Structure 1
Amino acid sequence: MTQPAPAARPSATVPGAVHRLVDVPGGRIHLLEQGTGPLVLMIHGFPETSYSWRHQLSAVAAAGFRAVAVDVRGYGRSSAPSSADAYRMTALVGDNVGVVHALGEETATVIGHDVGSAIAADSALLRPDMFTAVALLSVPYAPWNAAVRPTDGFARVGGSEEFYVSYFQQAGRAEAEIGPDVRGWLAGFYTSLSGDTMPPPGTDSPFFVPAGGSMRERFTGGALPSWLTEAELDLCSAEFERTGLTGALNRYRNLDRDWEDLAAWDRARLTCPALFVGGALDSSTTWMADAIADYPTTLPGLVSSHILDGCGHWIQQERPAEVNAILTKWLRTVHP
């Protein structure tokens, strides 16, 4: 039986959307909502918030859906538990389940970007009764592998330097780098991973930290990417200046716990109707090319897969019109 929807208020930053705070077993989740129809739940990545879906909310709503973009636990106005292990994957999937229930719904289509792609995939994997279709942006689906502990695997990736995931896993280290200049760090991170402003091929990657160094020393300088205005950067950085980055970084600090928690899903296929959209210039697409090639086995419900030429990591913000067209076509396919 559905429950009445919680009170909402208009958003000042995303025209047509409303803000809502909903209670879930793990605390509370802030979300942006627009439209009516089948529920479509959007999960952002690092370091973003529900605002990263500002271009999709109206398009998905206009296509006949109830579009909802959440602030993941630890971000924005959602709860931010102090314990690092509160950010394990099972807790984040539980938050998504709680949001669906709080909105009076029984099922949802889930869309995720970056680390939100993994949260979306695992939501569909763990609760296929509730999350009946999944769209993955930028980060491909790769089944859990019981043979390789994540921390060990990422340590090997770094070689003589340190892979960014290993860097983020150390409590307090990235916070010490980011904290003195949150806006400048975010600007550098967004710019370095964007298709029109990323470092040229052959230069040192911002994903690898030199011994004794920091990530930001390899960020691209100069103008912001074309998709991000100074005002939008101000809004994004203000959220992280208020909350800090620890809650966001705690996602990376739970990968080994996830590996243990989800051992029963070793090499599990994700069988629901699915969509993948990646950027041709995004390292996630190139590094995980084998995962994409394995989709006939690992993602047998795949409806379509798209690689956008010239596009970097922030795909739904870099190419909103293209991504909206792909998403709405797919949504109408899985909800005829």
Structure 2
Amino acid sequence: MQQPAPASGTSGTVSGAVHRLVDVPGGRIHLVEQGTGPLVLLIHGFPETSYSWRHQLPALAEAGFRAVAVDVRGYGRSSAPDAVDAYRMTALVADNVAVVKALGEETATVIGHDWGSSIAADSALMRPGLFTAAAFLSVPYSPWNPVRPTEGFARIGGDEEFYVSYFQEPGRAEAEIEPDVRGWLAGFYTSLSAGTMPPADQGSPFFVPAGAQMRDRFARGPLPSWLTEEDLDVYSAEFERTGLTGGLNRYRNVDRDWEDLAAWDGAVLTQPSLFIGGSLDSSTTWMADAIAAYPDTLPGLVSSHIIEGCGHWIQQERAAEVNALLVRWLHTVHG
């Protein structure tokens, strides 16, 4: 089923795009589609939706591509199963495979941001014949690691709790976020954006002292320039309707993913690839070693870019620059 989308606004739609629900093994996936040409699948991260690609859809369509942004399982208008293990990586890859097939395509380029970057990487790793090129925004590609993730995260931060560990217990983070979804999202988006990050002496919002909440260290001030009140309304309305459990369940599957993907220990991605990070993004700076290892782990890498003065929400903060890099790379990949 599909319907044309009206102009961008509080409904979270993009002018000229079409909204569609497609069947997948785990239910249905909502997607937003624009343009014709080679398929480019766009995968968002936490806590976002397909709306985070609102600037890329028209740009990629104009460049000659069929741009499709999905709501990942558990987000937006897509199905949200109850079971925590329904959000393991293998299930999300299966969703991507089913979306490509439902759209009548035999191959796709996959582009992801934040958790979407990891989902894109594992889609390309597990189904290389289907996902023939991959781009990663903010979170670098890193192969399977022999350290169990929850054990590694538990060792980060000393006396303070790393946010991934904080998210592990079902209901705990929801109890912080869901009484004031809009306020929490505003603080989280602002704290990870260039120009509005909290001062260093306030402490990192990624680490939670005993008895505290993540939001205690969020920036308090105006929204970043890339995020309008209307944009915040779009995100807030979706998460007020769905809750945050679907998104948080991605973090609660890191050990299951580690077990499921152990067979890919040492595997490299050979497809043409691209990385774009922000110089002020912790996801990029923490994983500098992963970027340095790209000659070995991404032998098909076309180019890697760090955008100076950019935070985490890269395709929204610096849309024009990201669009130019994506289009140039896509034209290289597709001739």
The TM-score range, normalised by the shorter chain, is over 0.9
Following superposition of structure 1 onto structure 2, how do residues 176-215 of structure 1 map, counting pairs within 5 Å?
176-215=175-214
Q: Which residue of 2 aligns with 1:45?
A: 45
Q: Which residue of 1 aligns with 2:72?
A: 72
Partner deviation per Cα, 1:264-321 (whole Å, 9 max, x = no partner) = 0012111110000000000011100000000000111110000000000000000000
In the TM superposition, what is the alpha-carbon distance from 1:201 to its structure 2 partner?
A: 3.5
Q: 2: distance between equivalents of 1:106 and 1:214?
A: 46
Q: Which residue of 2 aligns with 1:134?
A: 134
Amino acid corresponding to residue 99 of structure 2 in structure 1:
V
Q: 2: distance between equivalents of 1:232 and 1:161?
A: 32
Partner deviation per Cα, 1:101-151 (whole Å, 9 max, x = no partner) = 000001000000000000000000000000000000000000011x20000
In the TM superposition, what is the alpha-carbon distance from 1:170 to its structure 2 partner?
A: 1.1
Partner secondary structure for residue 234 of structure 1: helix
Q: 2: distance between equivalents of 1:200 and 1:223?
A: 14
Q: Which residue of 2 aligns with 1:88?
A: 88
Q: Which residue of 1 aligns with 2:224?
A: 225
Following superposition of structure 1 onto structure 2, how do residues 155-304 of structure 1 map, counting pairs within 5 Å?
155-304=154-303
Matched, 1:25 2:25: yes
Using the aligned pairs only, state the percent identity. 80
Q: Which residue of 2 aligns with 1:3?
A: none
Partner secondary structure for residue 158 of structure 1: coil
On the 8 A contact 2:34/2:57 being kept in 1, the answer is yes
Q: 2: distance between equivalents of 1:203 and 1:210?
A: 12
In the TM superposition, what is the alpha-carbon distance from 1:11 to its structure 2 partner?
A: 4.3
| Alpha carbons of structure 1 residues 41 and 11: separation in structure 2 relative to 1, 3 Å | farther
In the TM superposition, what is the alpha-carbon distance from 1:192 to its structure 2 partner?
A: 0.1
Amino acid corresponding to residue 101 of structure 1 in structure 2:
K
Amino acid corresponding to residue 126 of structure 1 in structure 2:
M
Q: Which residue of 1 aligns with 2:4?
A: 9
Q: 2: distance between equivalents of 1:58 and 1:305?
A: 23
In the TM superposition, what is the alpha-carbon distance from 1:8 to its structure 2 partner?
A: 3.3
Q: Which residue of 1 aligns with 2:35?
A: 35
| Alpha carbons of structure 1 residues 155 and 11: separation in structure 2 relative to 1, 3 Å | farther
Q: Which residue of 2 aligns with 1:61?
A: 61
In the TM superposition, what is the alpha-carbon distance from 1:7 to its structure 2 partner?
A: 3.4
* Unmatched runs of 5 consecutive residues or more in structure 2: 8-12
Q: 2: distance between equivalents of 1:249 and 1:72?
A: 12
In the TM superposition, what is the alpha-carbon distance from 1:10 to its structure 2 partner?
A: 2.1
Q: 2: distance between equivalents of 1:195 and 1:170?
A: 30
Amino acid corresponding to residue 297 of structure 2 in structure 1:
T
On the 8 A contact 2:4/2:16 being kept in 1, the answer is no
In the TM superposition, what is the alpha-carbon distance from 1:25 to its structure 2 partner?
A: 1.2
Amino acid corresponding to residue 59 of structure 2 in structure 1:
A
Matched, 1:114 2:114: yes
Partner deviation per Cα, 1:142-199 (whole Å, 9 max, x = no partner) = 0011x20000000011211000000011110000000110000000000000011012
Q: 1: distance between equivalents of 2:294 and 2:201?
A: 29
* Unmatched runs of 5 consecutive residues or more in structure 1: 1-5
Q: 2: distance between equivalents of 1:112 and 1:150?
A: 21
**Cα RMSD after superposing both structures:** 0.8
Amino acid corresponding to residue 309 of structure 1 in structure 2:
E
Amino acid corresponding to residue 7 of structure 1 in structure 2:
Q
| Alpha carbons of structure 1 residues 286 and 202: separation in structure 2 relative to 1, 3 Å | farther
In the TM superposition, what is the alpha-carbon distance from 1:202 to its structure 2 partner?
A: 4.2
Q: Which residue of 2 aligns with 1:144?
A: 144
In the TM superposition, what is the alpha-carbon distance from 1:16 to its structure 2 partner?
A: 1.1
Amino acid corresponding to residue 82 of structure 2 in structure 1:
S
In the TM superposition, what is the alpha-carbon distance from 1:26 to its structure 2 partner?
A: 1.3
Partner deviation per Cα, 1:183-240 (whole Å, 9 max, x = no partner) = 0000000000001101233430000001011000000001000000001101110000
